[in-house]
Structure 1
Amino acid sequence: MNVRHPPLARRLARRLLPLGRFSKPRPQNLPAFAVPAGSLQTLEGPVAFHDTLMTLIAQARRRIVLVALYLQDDQAGREVLDALYAMHQARPEVEIEVYVDWHRARRGLIGKAASEGNAAMYREYPARFGDGVAIYGVPIQNRELFGVLHLKGFVVDDAVLYSGASINDVYLARQGRYRLDRYHLVRHAGLAESMADFVRRYLRDSDAVHRLDVRSLSATRDMQNAIRHLRRQLQRAHYHVPQEPLSEGDVAVTPLVGFGRHDNRLNDVLLMLLRHARRRVVLFTPYFNLPRPVRAVLGQLLRRGCTIDIMVGDKTANDFYIPPGEPFRKIGLLPYLYESNLRRFARAHRSHIARGQLNLWLWHDGDNSYHVKGLLIDDEVAVITGNNLNPRAWALDLENGLVLRDPARRLAAQHEAEWEGLRRHATRLEDYHVLDNPRRYPAEVRTLLRRLRRVRLDRLLNRLL
């Protein structure tokens, strides 16, 4: 006979019993490529990321497949396009494809004058150099606000260069500034083929995906049926991944994709990995706006005694921060909204902070910005991803990531060196009072926050931005 537990009893059971009791899948059951540990490399920063990308392009022999939110019309973006066209002229047999978000490519920067966006540059290059570099726009939704192509990963021959970064000056550390992300290079033929095959099957072959480097572009309104079909396909999309046994010195690498609020494989695995944490979790997010399921699991882990480190950017290290003295725009509200979220979280968990079980780190380095995301769990699991671990990534954008399971801890030194390097520009919060009280925010920010909270639109913003 089935007995239904009352809500209170069920809540108590979830607090007192190991979280794994409620998770049917286990990390060791994930299908994965067996990759020699020596084939995985953590790159030190944006300069190394830039140099590695340019070297891979220059050495390509068969294929170059770049997937990013955008390839910007600036010095770095043109440097990459120059390299791609030079490769085509030197080796026409190399297949070269670039995939970016359809909507993002056709508008100017937020807060700037209206323009044709990066698509104008994409059309300029073939007019000068001829065809040979195919640039595709991928519309995940009919409007950018409701979802974008946030898939990441550059495949060059049998190498995968993975980062949450897109391609522009600040991501590639041009013009004296940088936006920090994480950067990993994996040399493995099977993984590279799986990621390139996904792009072919679900993006290039879709009727909703069109070239951006052509003179006449389709109107989004004429593509609505095709976009709807693409969304349905992406909700069932997956990488082809075998179940390869690990030899001594191998790391299990699982590429995952997720799209939509329900049956999202990437979200499910991220939660499963967190639930199975035993001792330590390190979580990176650029915008402190954790999805409710993630907050719930972190609370359970704290009650179980796990140590949790969360690193976020200081509000001044946010892409949308507007320094005092500059004209204020409404987009400048976002860093304050995220800081308010962090302050509430820190206040709710002040006892865990006081005893060192919860460590909240604020990253700040001059006028550079912070865009780091991912997980490190128990020195055995790492997640490298473009997923910002916020409600938008959880439900709206097309996201992916690589799960690295390393039971022999062959990569532990790399992960620890990465973590140590990130902490060089970070400060641990001793108490929630260290963060600005919203009552001390600039007048324009206080007014906007008050209006939003009066009609609860701040909650909607947290889900969309």
Structure 2
Amino acid sequence: MNTLIDAPRRIARRLVSPLRPKSRAWLETLPGFAVPPGAIETLQGPQALHQALFAQIAQATRRIVIVTLYLQDDDAGREVMEALYAARARRPGLEIDVFVDWHRAQRGLIGKQKSAGNAAMYRDCAQRHGGGVRVWGVPVQNRELFGVLHLKGFVFDDTVLYSGASLNDVYLAKHGRYRLDRCHCIRDAALADGMAAFVQRQFRDSEAVRRLDLPDPPPTRTLLPMIRAFRQQLQQAGYGVPTVALPDGAVAVTPLKGFGRADNALNDAMLALLRGARRRIVLLTPYFNLPRPVRAAVGQALRRGCSVDIMVGDKTANDFYIPPGQPFRTIGLLPYLYENNLRRFARTHAHQIASGQLSLWLWRDGDNSYHLKGLFADDDMALLTGHNLNPRAWALDLENGLLLRDPARHLHAMHEAEWAALRRHATRLADYHALESPRHYPPEVRRLLRRLSRVRLDRLVNRLL
């Protein structure tokens, strides 16, 4: 009965939603930085990210701006910090700013004992080296549960390294294991200036953003009014992008911010890419938990006759997977929740999978993990982003992305080579039966899934994770 009563309200919301009309034509009107195709490069794999990161740190002469969810207190994280201080020692005029999530930086790892978190390493490095590398904590929300700094991008002078990766052992393949993420190198002074200016304007100039490399950072509760004002400021924020005609042969690169449900340029762009695709879509997400508007847009694309490829990680390639034989923790339920989502989606679209119109790819490479994000539409548009394409990223986290519009298709071969490399460790699902049945899950997982489903908490969990 409630469903019938609410139906007119839901239909009205869909009809008046500001997101509905945005599609390919809207994307083509967006301003962008005109970048030569030869200045854009895909870096294949975590080793390439590691090499490029340290090479750029060593070469930088004017500025280094690193924005990431976290810079971990582990071997790779300490190696990054030492490299930054060494670069500063060689060039005392080099400006170095590192921005990480305020909450994430001041806690230990999930499931581990309580600690001062990564911030203790930042303070230790500053004390030993005498400062020179500013590390800032960005509090996007009052509590980590309700949203984090998920903005990405590293600026070294006039070069941008853009990756969804954070900085730690596994992302940088430090000890034999890796977590796969995408990384692109774009050499363009105007784009680098625009991304650095956004960070300066929105983060460094905010009273809510505080240094973590200095002793005694203030308690979060004392910053609550400033965090509230900061959130309001972020709602209105945007990248400064020139409104100039795109020269023949150039690629338009448009940085987009995503924050909150309303007036979210990044979410709008993703939906427009899906709704405007004419022939082909490739969607990459680490956690199969698509927001409802994305699911709807994918369904519409299939009905239009588009070919759709979706690549996700096998549950064993999930960050939170706990192998059999190891002590089980509640966080280990997540990979099974995501697999259940995928199973339902595959069952719903069984006909398109059987016909070959829809391809679902499961990535797995030994005990390594998968963290890819992004979107390709037809042969002339692509999105580089750290956005996980899940409800949390859709509404809670502060996100960004780079929209690439390539009308001359100069980047087509580069995108195809990246997609082919990703499929080397992926298997196409024949149907939903290829996924493990919940009946065969470990007993602890089955018990928790039943409990969540009984009180419908699984829906709430999906919205927050």
TM-score norm. by structure 1 comes to 0.95
**Counterpart in the other structure of 2:173:** 173
Deviation at 1:182, TM superposition (A): 0.4
Q: Sort the Cα spacing of 1:21 and 1:81 in 2 relative to 1 into closer, same or farther, 3 A.
A: closer
Q: Distance in 1 between matches of 2:108 and 2:47?
A: 26
1:118-267 paired onto structure 2 within 5 Å: 118-267=118-267
Given that residues 314 and 364 in structure 1 are in contact (C-alpha distance below 8 angstroms), is that contact kept between their aligned partners in structure 2? yes
Given that residues 180 and 372 in structure 2 are in contact (C-alpha distance below 8 angstroms), is that contact kept between their aligned partners in structure 1? yes
Given that residues 380 and 406 in structure 1 are in contact (C-alpha distance below 8 angstroms), is that contact kept between their aligned partners in structure 2? yes
**Counterpart in the other structure of 1:298:** 298
1:381-400 paired onto structure 2 within 5 Å: 381-400=381-400
**Counterpart in the other structure of 2:107:** 107
Q: Distance in 1 between matches of 2:73 and 2:25?
A: 44
Amino acid at match of 1:184: H
Structure 1: stretches of 5+ with no match in the other structure: 1-5
Deviation at 1:243, TM superposition (A): 2.0
Q: Distance in 1 between matches of 2:126 and 2:271?
A: 45
Deviation at 1:137, TM superposition (A): 0.3
1:326-365 paired onto structure 2 within 5 Å: 326-365=326-365
Given that residues 20 and 276 in structure 1 are in contact (C-alpha distance below 8 angstroms), is that contact kept between their aligned partners in structure 2? no
**Counterpart in the other structure of 1:3:** none
**Please, what is the CA RMSD of the aligned residues?**
1.6
20-29 or 267-276: bigger deviation: 20-29
448-457 or 344-353: bigger deviation: 448-457
Q: Sort the Cα spacing of 1:23 and 1:52 in 2 relative to 1 into closer, same or farther, 3 A.
A: closer
Q: Secondary structure in 1 aligned to 2:401?
A: strand
Given that residues 20 and 275 in structure 1 are in contact (C-alpha distance below 8 angstroms), is that contact kept between their aligned partners in structure 2? no
Q: Distance in 1 between matches of 2:271 and 2:20?
A: 11
170-179 or 24-33: bigger deviation: 24-33
**Counterpart in the other structure of 2:3:** none
**Counterpart in the other structure of 1:34:** 34
Amino acid at match of 1:356: G
Amino acid at match of 2:230: L
Deviation digits for residues 37-76 of structure 1 (CA, Å, limit 9, x no counterpart): 0000001111011100101110001100000000001111
Q: Distance in 1 between matches of 2:22 and 2:335?
A: 36
Q: Distance in 1 between matches of 2:58 and 2:399?
A: 28
Deviation at 1:250, TM superposition (A): 0.7
Q: Distance in 1 between matches of 2:365 and 2:451?
A: 32
Deviation digits for residues 438-462 of structure 1 (CA, Å, limit 9, x no counterpart): 1211110011011111111111110
Amino acid at match of 2:316: T
Deviation digits for residues 341-400 of structure 1 (CA, Å, limit 9, x no counterpart): 000000000000000000000000000000000001101101000000000000000000
Q: Distance in 1 between matches of 2:364 and 2:176?
A: 16
Deviation digits for residues 133-187 of structure 1 (CA, Å, limit 9, x no counterpart): 0000000011100000000000010000000000000000100000000010000
Q: Distance in 1 between matches of 2:360 and 2:276?
A: 21
Q: Secondary structure in 1 aligned to 2:103?
A: helix
> Is 1:455 paired with 2:455?
yes
Deviation digits for residues 241-261 of structure 1 (CA, Å, limit 9, x no counterpart): 012322232101000001011
Amino acid at match of 1:43: L
Amino acid at match of 2:226: A
Q: Secondary structure in 2 aligned to 1:26?
A: helix
Aligned pair count reads: 453
Deviation at 1:25, TM superposition (A): 5.4
Amino acid at match of 2:409: R
Deviation at 1:22, TM superposition (A): 6.6
Given that residues 71 and 77 in structure 2 are in contact (C-alpha distance below 8 angstroms), is that contact kept between their aligned partners in structure 1? yes
Deviation at 1:272, TM superposition (A): 1.1
